[in-house]
Structure 1
Amino acid sequence: MRALNTGFTWLSANYLGGIPIDRIATVASVLFSYALAHVFRRIPASNAPLRHVFSIASTLFLFGAVQEQYIGLAHLLVGSLVIYGMMKTLKGALMPRAVFFVAMLHMSFSQLRRQWGESGTVSFDYTGAQMVFVIKVTSLAYCVYDGTCDPKTLSAYQRKNAIGGVPSLLEFLGYVSFFPGFAVGPAFELATYRRMISFNNRQASRQVNARAYTTLLVGMFWVAVVVVYGDRFSFGFMTTDDFSQWSFARKAVFMGISGVVTRGAYYAAWKMSEGACMLAGLGFDGYCEDGSIAWLDIANVRVFDVESSSSLKAMIDAWNIGTNTWLRHHVYMRLNQGSGSSSHATLLTFLVSAWWHGFYPWLLPDNLRPLVVSKEDDMEKRRPPVKIMYDLVGWIMSKFTLDFVVVPFMLLNIAPSITAWRNLYMAVPVSFKVLGAGQLLKPKTT
């Protein structure tokens, strides 16, 4: 709606410090989804088709009218129909592989178009929603294939989420266009969606409301952080001459704060979307023996773990969890099962991750750990005073490394990224090289 877009522009200029209107539209879309989630869960669980239709219609309103992503909707609709046709016609292991490559290639086309194309009057981007879409349809394709396999050959995760056939077109569209998580996630399996559709969540309205709105408050806190500090702490300043004149310590502190503020935008979007999904009933996982309701953890990020872990791996594992789950269960494990070589599966998973979106930098702990951990009778024996210092230094170095590595992902341009890295003396690549000497200090085995 042009009127909404005009209102977002006025709001940004007068009260929100010039925040891009696409971000305001995303927040508004997620807030609208809370109201729609209350309506969704009032639809009887016995009327599954109506719940699917409501989900589709809500996404058309939120992603189309509110965010004005009409071209994106057209791409995702055509992509959905093509993928569904492939699921219905292709057989055997060929089907999920074909779906995987077609969906990824279509997403790559959209990403290149975003990078090289001219922006219009409204700089909206639908590739984020398409990335969630890719996870959903590729996961579904493999779950349909798993339904044709011997259960003994499947992992516990695969058995739980296997589907006994291609779903109806209406259910498929309701699943891929589930409105609270359509734009930013979380992504989830069709089996999880089906449990939500069949769940009469009015039975647990108080419990659901408390969890959902508590998560919304966390998201709104990060919105406030971005609004207040977004202009003051940004990676863009790291490319300036003024920044280059600062001391290294001041630069490092600035980059650390900028990293938190930048991640805050993701925290805000993911936590707010997570709360709306909860409100609709997503995450319902059946009933426990005592009759209480079991819930899946559908969080796409664990903020505390990202910001406090002393291990870079732990930080990455707590970030974009839905993507990590997808890579683990629908890429790595299947490659490993097929090739029998974990090293090949790991390499190909890294390549798929890079193709889709993410990065998995080399980890320092393998080199530093021998300094503070010894082995005695194959059991680790820590040296407490040194271990405390190790954890503190590990946290500082992991945070620095994380913030350093994501600079190009925020600036989206090679030359400014190199400038920012030079202003920080290429500290991370240099430290990787220097601290590699830690390998030489590993205890010798006899």
Structure 2
Amino acid sequence: MYNPVDAVLTKIITNYGIDSFTLRYAICLLGSFPLNAILKRIPEKRIGLKCCFIISMSMFYLFGVLNLVSGFRTLFISTMFTYLISRFYRSKFMPHLNFMFVMGHLAINHIHAQFLNEQTQTTVDITSSQMVLAMKLTSFAWSYYDGSCTSESDFKDLTEHQKSRAVRGHPPLLKFLAYAFFYSTLLTGPSFDYADFDSWLNCEMFRDLPESKKPMRRHHPGERRQIPKNGKLALWKVVQGLAWMILSTLGMKHFPVKYVLDKDGFPTRSFIFRIHYLFLLGFIHRFKYYAAWTISEGS
């Protein structure tokens, strides 16, 4: 199937020699900032519209930017299994069965990606997104069980943290899909509980803020938005993420992997040198993940 977004990106990659993986992930990570600026301006009571916007942007990322049709299928299978089993199987074994399926599905895809699927450093792998989704789905199953499948006496025995995360009613499918496919954290996380997502979506978490912290509506004088301004905090996270990217680029330039593979050079160095070189090499290669996580947190 012809993908116009992928065609444009492929042309840019070919003409300018940009790394495919880096470009596509950068678009998804940095593109979430302007999208969130739109999302926060959707009226608070239009929950369905918010959910549709979230899901449509995730589909744009998966189908358009990343060209991962099979990746969407992978995420959708786990998502729908959790939704259906939590909706119709009211048993104390429900969270355990959900955990086994979600983790088993993830393990199968990891094995396939590791041994059966030919990949390069530029290959976009859906298992990173599936790991984030697995944390969401397993936590939702337990939270829903705590809130809806336990007796009142058992609910009182829960910790305060469990009570605050408990889901008292099963969510509509549209809202659950928006939770599972939230575009800002779709690729790299972080994971979050459904209770936090629902509170954010309904703007309940902002009710206690003083009115002075809430921005005025531009087209409705006298009214204020519930979601406060957070542009400076988001910008600071982007700066941190870009700093990690720069450190990653400079570090890999001065500590290349190919030196370790040089049979004539690296083995001749002292044991202490090789240990410290490998330590720094592993540390530097984590910088790109720090960059992605930091930018994702900011968005």
C-alpha distance 237-157 of structure 1, shift in aligned 2 (>3 A): farther
Pick one of 276, 279, 287 that aligns with 1:264. 287
**1:55 touches 1:174 (CA, 8 Å); kept in 2?**
yes
Pick one of 2, 21, 33 that aligns with 2:7. 2
What's the offset of the Cα at 1:95?
A: 1.1
Name the counterpart of 1:255. Answer: 278
Pick one of 275, 296, 303 that aligns with 2:298. 275
Q: Establish whether residue 233 from structure 1 lines up as the match of residue 255 from structure 2.
A: yes
**1:43 touches 1:51 (CA, 8 Å); kept in 2?**
yes
C-alpha distance 44-204 of structure 1, shift in aligned 2 (>3 A): closer
What's the offset of the Cα at 1:120?
A: 7.1
| Amino acid in the other structure paired with 1:79 | S
| Amino acid in the other structure paired with 1:266 | Y
Q: Establish whether residue 188 from structure 1 lines up as the match of residue 192 from structure 2.
A: yes
* Number of equivalent positions: 270
What's the offset of the Cα at 1:213?
A: 1.1
**1:63 touches 1:183 (CA, 8 Å); kept in 2?**
no
Q: Secondary structure at 1:44's aligned position in 2?
A: coil
Q: Structure 2 matches for 1:289-438, cutoff 5 A?
A: none
Q: Structure 2 matches for 1:149-160, cutoff 5 A?
A: 149=150, 150-160=154-164
Name the counterpart of 1:124. Answer: 124
Q: Mind listing any 5+ residue stretches in structure 2 that lack a counterpart?
A: 1-5, 207-213, 216-224
**In structure 1, how many angstroms separate the alpha carbons of the residues matched to 2:28 and 2:268?**
42
Name the counterpart of 2:244. Answer: 222
| Amino acid in the other structure paired with 1:155 | T
Name the counterpart of 1:76. Answer: 75
| Amino acid in the other structure paired with 2:89 | L
Q: Structure 2 matches for 1:24-103, cutoff 5 A?
A: 24-103=23-102
C-alpha distance 227-234 of structure 1, shift in aligned 2 (>3 A): same
Name the counterpart of 2:221. Answer: none
What's the offset of the Cα at 1:206?
A: 6.8
What's the offset of the Cα at 1:33?
A: 1.0
**2:237 touches 2:298 (CA, 8 Å); kept in 1?**
yes
Larger radius of gyration: 1
**1:223 touches 1:264 (CA, 8 Å); kept in 2?**
yes
| 4+ residue runs over 4 A deviation | 200-207
Q: Establish whether residue 162 from structure 1 lines up as the match of residue 185 from structure 2.
A: no
| Amino acid in the other structure paired with 1:139 | S
Identity of aligned residues (%): 26
Q: TM-score, normalized by length of structure 2?
A: 0.83
What's the offset of the Cα at 1:10?
A: 4.3
Q: Establish whether residue 209 from structure 1 lines up as the match of residue 231 from structure 2.
A: yes
Name the counterpart of 1:387. Answer: none
| Amino acid in the other structure paired with 2:164 | K
**In structure 2, how many angstroms separate the alpha carbons of the residues matched to 1:116 and 1:98?**
27
Name the counterpart of 1:146. Answer: 146
**In structure 1, how many angstroms separate the alpha carbons of the residues matched to 2:85 and 2:14?**
42
Q: Secondary structure at 2:235's aligned position in 1?
A: helix
Q: Mind listing any 5+ residue stretches in structure 1 that lack a counterpart?
A: 15-19, 277-446
What's the offset of the Cα at 1:230?
A: 2.1
**2:109 touches 2:127 (CA, 8 Å); kept in 1?**
yes
| Amino acid in the other structure paired with 2:270 | S
